C-alpha cells in the first residue's frame, strides 16, 4: 500500500508542470510574435526553433504535472536551452531597440521552470520508482508507463487550449504570408529579363554577352516573355553587340539602329502586358560605344493622345543593380514616344529636399551643399523663405495630420544625419534617399552615436513605417510625379510637332543670335527644349509653386551651372520677373527669383501661358489621357 500512497503527485510536481506548460504556451506565442516582427533570412529558422522548444516544453510540462520524473529531467534541459535562446533574442531586441515585454516574461518563466523542475525532481523520481515496482508485481497503478512522451489522456480543456494555440500560430502565419512585401522579381518573366540584361550589359567579352543573349531565346524565355518580345530582344542585343564593335564613322548609324530596336522591345513588352520597361544609354569607352541597358518595373502605365498621335508615360522603379543612374526625375529618348518617370529619383527629391520643409522653420534646400555650409546670410534667408513658401503650398493643398507628421519625421531625420556628418569622422555618411531605407544607418553607426540618438533614430524609423505615414508619402509622390509627367509629355509633343521660335530671354542668357534657329542637339537647342517643358509644367501643373521651388535649384545650385536646365531656368525666371513686375524696385536677382515663387499661383500660370505663346508662336496645349494601368506597389 505504501507504493500506492506514493503515486499521489506531489505539490512541487504540479507547480513545476504547470509552470512548464505555461512557459511552453508563451514560448509559442513569442515564436508567433517573432515571425511577425523579424525580417530577413533568419525569420523562419528563429521562429521555428522557438516554436519547437515551446511545443516540447508545453507537452513536457503537462506530463510533469501528471507525476512523471523523466519528463521533469527533460523539462529541466528544455528550459535551460530556452533560457539561452530567449536570452539571446532578448539581447538582440535590446541592441535593435525593439524591447519586447513578452520576451522578458518568457525568459523569467524559463528560469522559474528550471528552479521548480529541479525542486520537484527528487519526489517525482520516487513516484517513478513506485510505479515501476507496481508494474513488476503485475498491479495497474492507473497511470501510463514511465516514458517521457508516452500517451496521456487529454481533457476537454487541454484540447481547447491546444486548439487556441494552433489558431494563434496559424493566424500569424496567414497574416505574414498575406502581408509579405511585393517583390517584382517574384514574377518569373521579370527576374529572367532583369538578370540576363544586367549580365549582358556588364559582360567583359562578346562570348559572355552571347551566352546571356541565348538564355533570352530559350524555350522557357519565349514562353514567359512571348515570341514577339524574344525576337525583339534578339534583334536589340544583336544591334548592341554590333555597336560595341563599330568603327568611329559607323557609330551614329548603328546607334540609331540600336535605339529603334530598343523601342521595339518596349512595344512588345507592353503588348504582352508585362510590367517591364527597357531603356538604354550609350556610354563611350576607349574603343567604341557600350550600351548601358537598364530595366524598370512599371508601376503605372498611362496612354495619352495628342492631336490623334499616341503618347505613353511609364512611372517606374529601377530593377537592375547597376549603380549608374540618370540625374533626372524624368526623361524621354529621341525616337521613342515614351516618357519615363523615375520613382527612385522622385522619392529622393521628396525625402531629401521638399518634404522636410513641412516642419516649422525648416529651410528648403535649393543651394549646393558647399554654399549652404558656408552659412552665407543671403543663402540661409532664401532657403528659409522658400521653406515658408512650401509650407503655405502644402498646408493649402494637403492639410491632413499625416502629411505634417511625415514632414516632421523626415526633417528630424535630416537634421540628425547632418549632426552626425559634422561630428563623426572616418565614417562616410550618406543620407538615405528612400522613405524606408533598405539598410539601417543607425545599425551601421551604433558604435559612433549615443544611446539617446539611437533611440531617436529608431523612433523616427518606426514613425515613417506606419501605414498612414506611408500613404501620406505616396500622395505627395503622386503629386510631384504628375508635374514631372507634364514636363516629359511636353518633350514628346515638341518632338512630334517640332519646336519653332527662339525665346529672346534664352538667347540673351546664352549670348547667341535670337534670329538664328539652334541646332537640335546643341546647348541652345537642349536649353530651348527644357524651357518649353518647364513652362508647360508651371502653366498646367496643379501646384506651380512646388515646381518653381524645384526649378530654382537649377538657378542657385552652382553644380548645375552651364547645363541646359540652368539656362532654361534663368530664362523662365527672367520672363516671369518682367511679366509679374517684381523687379521695378531693382532688387537683387536672387530676391527677384524668390518674389516670383511667392507670387499668386494663378498669376504665375497666366504669365507662363502668355510667355509661351509669345516665345514659341503657338498656344500651349496638353495631351489627353486615354488609359491607365495600375500595378502592385513596390518598396512601400
Quick one: average pLDDT of 439-466?
Answer: 86
Residue carrying the nine cell digits 506530463: 63
Q: Which band of pLDDT confidence, cut at 50, 70 and 90, is reported for residue 399?
A: low
1 or 323: whose pLDDT is higher? 323
- CA atoms of 201 and 595, how far apart (whole Å): 48
Task: Give the count of beta carbons closer than 10 Å to the beta carbon of residue 609.
Answer: 17
Q: What sign results for the dihedral spanned by CA atoms 92, 93, 95, 99? A: negative
Q: Are 499 and 529 in contact (CB under 8 A)?
A: yes
pLDDT digits (tens, 9 = 90+) for 522-578: 888 899 999 999 999 999 988 899 899 999 999 999 998 999 999 999 999 999 999
Q: Are 584 and 578 in contact (CB under 8 A)?
A: no
Task: Give the count of beta carbons closer than 10 Å to the beta carbon of residue 633.
Answer: 14
User: In this predicted structure, which of 336-340, 425-429, 619-623 has the lowest mean pLDDT?
Assistant: 425-429
517 or 404: whose pLDDT is higher? 404
pLDDT digits (tens, 9 = 90+) for 131-141: 777 666 665 55
- CA atoms of 290 and 636, how far apart (whole Å): 34
- CA atoms of 26 and 94, how far apart (whole Å): 20
347 or 288: whose pLDDT is higher? 347
Quick one: average pLDDT of 480-489?
Answer: 94
pLDDT reported for residue 515: 75
Q: ∠552-554-560 over CA atoms, to 5°?
A: 155
User: In this predicted structure, which of 106-115, 484-493, 512-521, 611-620 has the lowest mean pLDDT?
Assistant: 512-521
Q: Are 288 and 282 in contact (CB under 8 A)?
A: no
pLDDT reported for residue 615: 94
pLDDT digits (tens, 9 = 90+) for 222-253: 999 999 999 999 999 999 998 888 888 888 88
Quick one: average pLDDT of 595-623?
Answer: 94
Checking if the pLDDT of 150 tops 50, the result is: no
- CA atoms of 572 and 562, how far apart (whole Å): 16
Q: What sign results for the dihedral spanned by CA atoms 224, 225, 228, 230? A: negative
Mean pLDDT score across all residues of the chain: 85
Amino acid at each position: 500500500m505504501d507504493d500506492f500512497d506514493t503515486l499521489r503527485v506531489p505539490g512541487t510536481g504540479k507547480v513545476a508542470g504547470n509552470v512548464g506548460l505555461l512557459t511552453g504556451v508563451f514560448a509559442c506565442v513569442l515564436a508567433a510574435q517573432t515571425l511577425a516582427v523579424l525580417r530577413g533570412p533568419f525569420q523562419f529558422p528563429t521562429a521555428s526553433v522557438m516554436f519547437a522548444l515551446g511545443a516540447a516544453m508545453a507537452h513536457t510540462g503537462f506530463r510533469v504535472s501528471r507525476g512523471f520524473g523523466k519528463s521533469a529531467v527533460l523539462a529541466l534541459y528544455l528550459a535551460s536551452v530556452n533560457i539561452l535562446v530567449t536570452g539571446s533574442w532578448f539581447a538582440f531586441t535590446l541592441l535593435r531597440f525593439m524591447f519586447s515585454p513578452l520576451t522578458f516574461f518568457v525568459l523569467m518563466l524559463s528560469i522559474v521552470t528550471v528552479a521548480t523542475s529541479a525542486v520537484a525532481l527528487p519526489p517525482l523520481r520516487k513516484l517513478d520508482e513506485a510505479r515501476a515496482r507496481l508494474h513488476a508485481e503485475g498491479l495497474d497503478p492507473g497511470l501510463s508507463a514511465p516514458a517521457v512522451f508516452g500517451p496521456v489522456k487529454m481533457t476537454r480543456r487541454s484540447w481547447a487550449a491546444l486548439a487556441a494555440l494552433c489558431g494563434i500560430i496559424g493566424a500569424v502565419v496567414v497574416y505574414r504570408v498575406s502581408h509579405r512585401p511585393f517583390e517584382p522579381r517574384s514574377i518569373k518573366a521579370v527576374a529572367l529579363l532583369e538578370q540576363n540584361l544586367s549580365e549582358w550589359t556588364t559582360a567583359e567579352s562578346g562570348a559572355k554577352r552571347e551566352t546571356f543573349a541565348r538564355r533570352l531565346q530559350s524555350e522557357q524565355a519565349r514562353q514567359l516573355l512571348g515570341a514577339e518580345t524574344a525576337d525583339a530582344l534578339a534583334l536589340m542585343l544583336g544591334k548592341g553587340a554590333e555597336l560595341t564593335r563599330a568603327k568611329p564613322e559607323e557609330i551614329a548609324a548603328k546607334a540609331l539602329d540600336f535605339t529603334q530596336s530598343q523601342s521595339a522591345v518596349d512595344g512588345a513588352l507592353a503588348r504582352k502586358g508585362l510590367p517591364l520597361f527597357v531603356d538604354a544609354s550609350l556610354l563611350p569607352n576607349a574603343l567604341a560605344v557600350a550600351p548601358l541597358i537598364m530595366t524598370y518595373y512599371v508601376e503605372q502605365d498611362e496612354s495619352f493622345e495628342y492631336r490623334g498621335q499616341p503618347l505613353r508615360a511609364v512611372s517606374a522603379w529601377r530593377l537592375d543593380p547597376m549603380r549608374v543612374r540618370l540625374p533626372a526625375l524624368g526623361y524621354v529618348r529621341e525616337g521613342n514616344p515614351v516618357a519615363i518617370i523615375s520613382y527612385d529619383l522622385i522619392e529622393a527629391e521628396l525625402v531629401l529636399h521638399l518634404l522636410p520643409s513641412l516642419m516649422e522653420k525648416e529651410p528648403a534646400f535649393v543651394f549646393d551643399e558647399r554654399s549652404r555650409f558656408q552659412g552665407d546670410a543671403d543663402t540661409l534667408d532664401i532657403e528659409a523663405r522658400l521653406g515658408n513658401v512650401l509650407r503655405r503650398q502644402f498646408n493649402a493643398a494637403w492639410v491632413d495630420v499625416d502629411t505634417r507628421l511625415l514632414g516632421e519625421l523626415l526633417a528630424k531625420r535630416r537634421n540628425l544625419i547632418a549632426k552626425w556628418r559634422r561630428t563623426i569622422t572616418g565614417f562616410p555618411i550618406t543620407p538615405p534617399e528612400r522613405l524606408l531605407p533598405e539598410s539601417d544607418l543607425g545599425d551601421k553607426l551604433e558604435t559612433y552615436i549615443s544611446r539617446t540618438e539611437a533611440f531617436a533614430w529608431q523612433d523616427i524609423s518606426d514613425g515613417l513605417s506606419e501605414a498612414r505615414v506611408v500613404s501620406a508619402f505616396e500622395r505627395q509622390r503622386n503629386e510631384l510625379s504628375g508635374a514631372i509627367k507634364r514636363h516629359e509629355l511636353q518633350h514628346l509633343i515638341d518632338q512630334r510637332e517640332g519646336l519653332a521660335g527662339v525665346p529672346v530671354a534664352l538667347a540673351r542668357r546664352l549670348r547667341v543670335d535670337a534670329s538664328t534657329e539652334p541646332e537640335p542637339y546643341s546647348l541652345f537647342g537642349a536649353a530651348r527644349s527644357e524651357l518649353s517643358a518647364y513652362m508647360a509644367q508651371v502653366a498646367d501643373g496643379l501646384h506651380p509653386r512646388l515646381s518653381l521651388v524645384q526649378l530654382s535649384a537649377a538657378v542657385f545650385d552652382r553644380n548645375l551651372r552651364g547645363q541646359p536646365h540652368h539656362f532654361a531656368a534663368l530664362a523662365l525666371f527672367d520672363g516671369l520677373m518682367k511679366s509679374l513686375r517684381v523687379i521695378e524696385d531693382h532688387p537683387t536677382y536672387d530676391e527677384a527669383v524668390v518674389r516670383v515663387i511667392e507670387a499668386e499661383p494663378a498669376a504665375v500660370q497666366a504669365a507662363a501661358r502668355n510667355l509661351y505663346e509669345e516665345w514659341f508662336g503657338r498656344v500651349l496645349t496638353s495631351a489627353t489621357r486615354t488609359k491607365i494601368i495600375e500595378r502592385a506597389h513596390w518598396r512601400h
